[in-house]
Chains A and B, each alone.
Chain A
Amino acid sequence: MQFDRFPTGPVGKALVVSDRIVDPWGSRTPFGRGEAWPARADVALEQGTSPDDIEGWVQSACVLCSNGCALDIGVKDGRMVGVRGREDDRVNRGRLGPKGLFGWQANGHPDRLTSPLLRENGELRPVDWATALDIFAGRTKQILSNSGPGAIGVYNSGQLFLEEYYALGVLTRAGLGTIHLDGNTRLCTATAAQSMKESFGADGQPGSYADVDHCDALFLVGHNVAFTQTVLWSRMLDRLHGPDRPALVVVDPRRTPVAEEADVHLAVRSGTNLALLNAIVHELVAHSWVDERYVGANTVGFDDLARTVERWTPDVAAQVCDVPAADIRSAAEIIGGTPRLLSTVLQGVYQSHLATASACQINNIHLLRGMLGRPGCGVLQMNGQPTAQNARECGAAGDLPGFRNWQNADHVEELARLWNVEPSTIPHWGPGTHAMEMFRYAEQGSLELLWVIGTNPAVSLPESDRIRSILCQDRLFVVVQDAFLSETAMLADLVLPAAIWGEKTGTFTNTDRTVHLSEKAVEPPGGARPDLSIIVDYAQRLGVSDKDGQPLLAWTTAEEVYDAWRACSKGRPCDYSDITYARLRAEGGIQWGGERLYGDDTFPTTSETTEDYGHDIATGAAWTEADHRALGAQGRAIFRAAHWAPPHEEPDGEYPFALTNGRSVYHFHTRTKTARAPELQAAAPDSWVEMSEGDAAGLSLTEGDLVRVESRRGHVEAPLRIRPCRSGTVFVPFHYGWWDDPDGPSRAANEMTMTVWDPVSHQPTFKTAAVRITRVGS
């Protein structure tokens, strides 16, 4: 296995038990099926600090991917000096990945924002908090009265704490009254949520990480788990290298570390997941590898599914996907024959063509085989970000809080009662405006104020040039709340410095529904303030109130907000009512909903409970309550199926290569934090372009050549790496923007991506674009 780049010596100041830069997954602790995953204690301490020097270990969990590894933060003299994994936690059993071990150093980086900044005469200048928030609230009130709530948009994150999302959702919906509220989870897990709403009636992960311990086969679709969730991959590797090795089927256009371990690796052409999955389901149906009792008792829509996949034979799919039909058959045999199947799905599906239909087809596999809710039988529609789950649950990412249905008047009334406002106050004439549409309104000029919290759309949204031009408009007032001066903050009119993880208390929930409490360990730098405190202060300055004239956000501590959320979630699928701060302190990670969902074969699909009446998954046309009732699901899961159709842009004579993008194991998102951790930054300091040996030879390119990758929308320049990858496909990492290299060559992958999104989940399609390659230097 080759890594992105090896450091040549000690580059940072952290000391770890083993070099987790060279080996991101650490030593193996193999175990057999049904056994407990052995613990392994991972520690990183600042050089010169010994465990005896630590004055206090503060309970927390890692926020640098969706895994949510439990850890303690080591504090000395009021500073963070290290982290250690919590061995008793169900998620990681003590392990930490490279980002967890090193990323905490970003907290203490001198680049941290410590004062609000206001743009005056074209330049951002420091102002005090009272001035900043009065300007923010004043501008808001002016726009509300002149143009109405629809002129205000809130675009937040997958990085806040649960309490902050809930408070933000209450403020935005019942205070500002705008329907334009979304999170950057739109880019990351909108499809996961949507597929679960379509298939099972509500968001909520059916599976559990413990299913890794019990499964007989793993099916990883578009999920390079070795880089995205290193500790989950350690768990899988420990099964793969132990007794009773599970079979492994991998779908990925690149020869990733995961693909290296696979029994069957399907390196499909970008944008063809659905054709492949339809063929696998075709095989299950054709060979009757179907649990007929389960399907009969617990599902609706089988006939439609069978009719749709009928023509998707392995031979037909092999043509579309450009993989051997025999490999598709082998994969289907493993999936159809295994007694316990765990499937995992991530951005290779969610950010690719026909995302929701593809993710639903993976849910369909588990419904067909009756493999949900039992040990080893699960599907993990993964999250990318650490707190994406909470953005979705608490209503900061487009959906109403508590997986409530905006089309269901009773659900809206419940919220109105909880918040003591009139139901008509809460926007519910449609779903929350998705991020891409919000930016479209800003482009048209009907959105006049955009509040961006904890995210970096200038680098992370598709077609960067378009996004920059939208953010730069004089007629749009942009407020950015962040810990660092990101590329987006550089374009803002007002910047609010935020405290981050370790500097504030709150909870968050990982991919497998495990809730952790993260306690405040140190003070934030300078004037940086917790997001919750900023949200509540802004609300007070706006004077938003309930129908009795009392402040709408009457909270001062995170725990008070959390208790309000417990009441809000009670009785809903994501019920937190019995998970208190006290229990989280005493027990560590606790899953809401228990170890697995749907073990009782009952799905939240009655018209009264469901989060969503569903959609036509080919066009995104919304179903009404009448359509939903006519389907007659009433507690049974729903098969959704669609035909594959070609992606919106395919390679041609002018732009002959398919562009895909993804991550480095050492970085998260746009490197806002990870580039400020010396070991991580040294391991992957700059962008690169990956292509196969044959393609490189065809263009007379060699390793290290500086190449220009260009689409119809923009280009990047970066050195070439030759790596195993399907022919005709080019890979560029998406992390690199320009904050640390403003005069360097263009390197943001999104300069090249196109503005297009899945019709159902509205998740942008980052993984299909056509590009051409030229050599510009060596």
Chain B
Amino acid sequence: MKPKLAAALGDLHAGEAELAREHRAVADRHAADHDVFHICHSLARQCDGHAEQIRSALSAAGHEAPEEGHDGPRHAVIATVRRKASEAMGRSDQTGALLLHDLRHLHALASDVEIGWTIVGQGAKAARELELVGLFSTGSEEVAGQLRWIKTRIKLTAPQVLTVG
């Protein structure tokens, strides 16, 4: 694999890892919005899967794989604090606006990852890295699905936040 293609994959790995972290953070911040909690956690797992596949692809090509993002005990404590805070805050009329803000940020991150996949996909096609093309095809399709979900959820929330009260 060409070093620049490997570097692009490395960037994509970082993007997927950050997206996974942010999905988990949004999930825990909005634990009282139960669909957000469950779906964001499951989308985080989807990002983990992409990151894992990217690491395998790099290792198989003899490149140094980036480190797996470790959440560690500190993260677990933060997640619990976030979840408890969101449950305590669940009755506040500010939670809708916060959710809208967080989903918007998530959408920006996911868009960046989607473009990352496009860059890698084009490189993979030109380099005839057929396995990587296969990886691109699933990865970009799934992140496009994530974007669709985030947009669907934003469309649900925005009218209530902006027009009621």
Contacts and interface: CB of A to CB of B under 8 A. Distances in A.
B35 A757 contact: yes
B57 to A, nearest CB: 20
B74 interface: no
Interface string B145-165: 110110110011001100111
A755 B43 CA distance: 19
Contact of A150 (B149, B151, B163): B163
Interface in A403-441: 429-430, 433, 436-437, 440-441
Contacts of A645: 42
Contacts of B155: 429-430, 622
A443 B88 CA distance: 12
B39 A759 contact: yes
Given A444-B90, A446-B96, A616-B145, A757 B164 contact: no
B75 interface: no
Interface string A620-638: 1111000000000000000
B95 A444 contact: yes
Contact of B156 (A437, A618, A757): A437
A28 interface: no
Interface centre among B145, B159, B160, B163 (most CB of A within 10 A): B160
Contacts of A756: 34-35, 38
B97 to A, nearest CB: 10
A150 B159 contact: yes
A429 B159 contact: yes
A153 B95 CA distance: 19
Contacts of A147: 164-165
B35 A759 contact: yes
B148 A444 contact: no
A619 B156 contact: no
A151 B149 contact: no
Contacts of A623: 148
Contacts, number: 76
A60 to B, nearest CB: 40
A430 B152 CA distance: 9
Contacts of A441: 160
Interface string B122-152: 0000000000000000000000011011011
A32 interface: no
Nearest to B162: A150
A446 B156 CA distance: 14
Given A151-B165, A759-B39, A616 B149 contact: yes
A440 B148 contact: no
A622 B152 contact: yes
B143 to A, nearest CB: 12
A444 B97 CA distance: 11
B152 A620 contact: yes
A445 B93 CA distance: 6
B159 A619 contact: no
Interface in B58-74: none
Nearest to A447: B164
A206 B55 CA distance: 48
B109 to A, nearest CB: 17
B91 A445 contact: yes
Nearest to B38: A648
Given A150-B164, A619-B39, A621-B149, A444 B156 contact: no
A755 B87 CA distance: 13
A150 B159 CA distance: 8
B26 interface: no
A150 to B, nearest CB: 4
Contact of A179 (B38, B39, B159): B159
A755 B35 CA distance: 9
A736 B39 CA distance: 32
A619 B42 CA distance: 9
Q: Which 5 A-B pairs have the closest CB atoms?
A: A621-B148, A150-B164, A621-B149, A619-B149, A445-B93
Interface of B: 32-35, 38-39, 42-43, 90-93, 95-96, 145-146, 148-149, 151-152, 155-156, 159-160, 163-165
Interface of A: 147-148, 150-151, 179, 429-430, 433, 436-437, 440-441, 443-446, 616, 618-623, 645, 648, 755-757, 759
21 contacts: A147-B164, A147-B165, A150-B159, A150-B164, A429-B155, A430-B156, A430-B159, A436-B34, A446-B164, A616-B145, A616-B149, A618-B145, A619-B146, A619-B148, A620-B39, A620-B149, A620-B152, A621-B148, A621-B152, A645-B42, A757-B34
Given A621-B151, A645-B42, 7 more contacts: A443-B90, A446-B160, A616-B149, A619-B146, A621-B148, A621-B149, A621-B152
